[in-house]
A and B are shown apart, each in its own frame.
Chain A
Amino acid sequence: MTTEKIMEGVRFGLEFERMRLEASSQNIARANVATRPGELTRVAQAVAPATPFADALGIGAASRHPFVTEVAAGTRQVHDPADPMADAHGTVTYPEVDMAGEMSTLISASRSYEADVRAFNTLHAMELHSLAIGEKS
């Protein structure tokens, strides 16, 4: 049934947008949290897994779920010897988070989520309308 395929797509879209929002809010939350000296700085990123080859052949029934993963990020160095997280040179390291970028990701995820819901509602309305085909008025 084609409708189920569309439903599956909408489900995936909703989940992925939620993951994107999650990754963005995590990054915003940790933008001003110093990393321990010598530790790698990381930021979160939402990932939509690609379709496996077996899936494309139609022999695998693996369900795809988007997930949030961590990727290496640049650093932002601030000189503050008073900070307990400062290294030997008095430098504190923060992950480099592009605030404007994260904010636009938030808005974009929110809007895409709305679009997904709208698509679902439209499909639902069309299904209900099709049930009325041939109805006596």
Chain B
Amino acid sequence: MIDPITLSGLSSSELNVSMQSITSGQTMNFGAMIGDGVHALNSQLVTADTALRAYAAGDGPTTADLMVTMTEARERLQFAVEVRNRIVDAYQNLTNMQI
């Protein structure tokens, strides 16, 4: 089982802010947005993991279904990694700024 990904720096109330409040033009909570994304990614990874386990046990989805699910999950993970890369990039840009 893949361990759930948690963000230690964010409180649970922050993570529970729905996308609704973000898109409705209220205060844009960047941490909540990232938290939501991580939650969605995690649930997709867990879905893929569950499907793989069921397939290995012999009573799961078809091979094609499994591969599609796993590819989707991998795509999401790569997207998350790319987002993380951009954030780190931006952070480094700020830290290297001359004042």
Residues of A within 8 A of B (CB): 7, 10-11, 14-15, 18, 120, 124, 127-128, 131
Contacts and interface: CB of A to CB of B under 8 A. Distances in A.
Given A15-B62, A18-B62, A10 B68 contact: yes
Contacts of B75: 124, 127-128
A46 to B, nearest CB: 15
Given A14-B62, A120-B68, A128-B78, 19 more contacts: A7-B68, A7-B72, A10-B68, A11-B64, A11-B65, A11-B68, A14-B65, A14-B68, A15-B64, A15-B65, A18-B62, A18-B64, A120-B71, A124-B71, A124-B75, A127-B75, A128-B75, A131-B78, A131-B82
A125 to B, nearest CB: 11
| Among B64, B71, B82: residue with most chain A CB under 10 A | B64
A128 B74 CA distance: 10
A18 B61 CA distance: 13
A18 B20 CA distance: 40
Interface of B: 62, 64-65, 68, 71-72, 75, 78-79, 82
14 contacts: A10-B68, A11-B64, A11-B65, A14-B62, A14-B68, A15-B64, A15-B65, A18-B64, A124-B75, A127-B75, A128-B75, A131-B78, A131-B79, A131-B82
A120 B69 CA distance: 12
Nearest to B71: A124
A124 B75 CA distance: 8
A18 B63 CA distance: 11
